[in-house]
Amino acid sequence: MRAKRAFIAVLLMLGAVAGRCQSSATHDATAVPNAEAMAGVWRAEADGLPAVTLVVSDEGGNLTGAILFYFLKRETPDKPYTSTPGLPEPMFNLKFDGQALTFQVSHRRAHPPRTLSDPPVTMRLKLMGTNAAGQMQGELSNLSERSPAAIAVRTDY
């Protein structure tokens, strides 16, 4: 039950937390705009802690993946934040337009039973180019809530 609460809590606070995400991004117009550029493990942090992890795979030109949200909390205002992983959720209805991957993730198991009828949440991972370390970066946005984007960095599997 705690993991389910963690999933939705981080999903809902993605916008609030995104404002604290650190980035050294540069917009690189030479980024490779193909499905292969999306494949890998994408990680976004908030306050130096894991916030979201996406695993995207290119299966012969068809992208598939899963997303894991972390619950960020602190016991009291004077304590530091801690990060606890929720449950991984499959990404579905993946569409890549050469610059951004749009996908949906279920919201049904977020806070059952009240969320059992909730529609899927639509998200987008937009390619930004590379950072100073040469890693591909992207803006992860929750389009269903129009929240601020979090910066995600891609690593290989």
Q: Where are the domains of the chain?
A: 2-155
pLDDT tens for the 157 residues of the chain, in order:
343 333 333 333 333 333 333 333 333 334 445 788 899 999 999 889 999 999 999 988 789 999 998 988 999 999 999 999 988 999 999 999 999 999 999 987 766 788 788 899 999 999 999 999 999 999 999 998 877 789 999 987 6
Under 8 Å between Cβ of 133 and 154: no
* Inter-CA distances, 48 with 20, 35, 52, 78, 108, Å: 9, 29, 12, 17, 29
Cβ pair 63, 94 in contact under 8 A: yes
Instruction: State which amino acid sits at residue 91.
Output: M
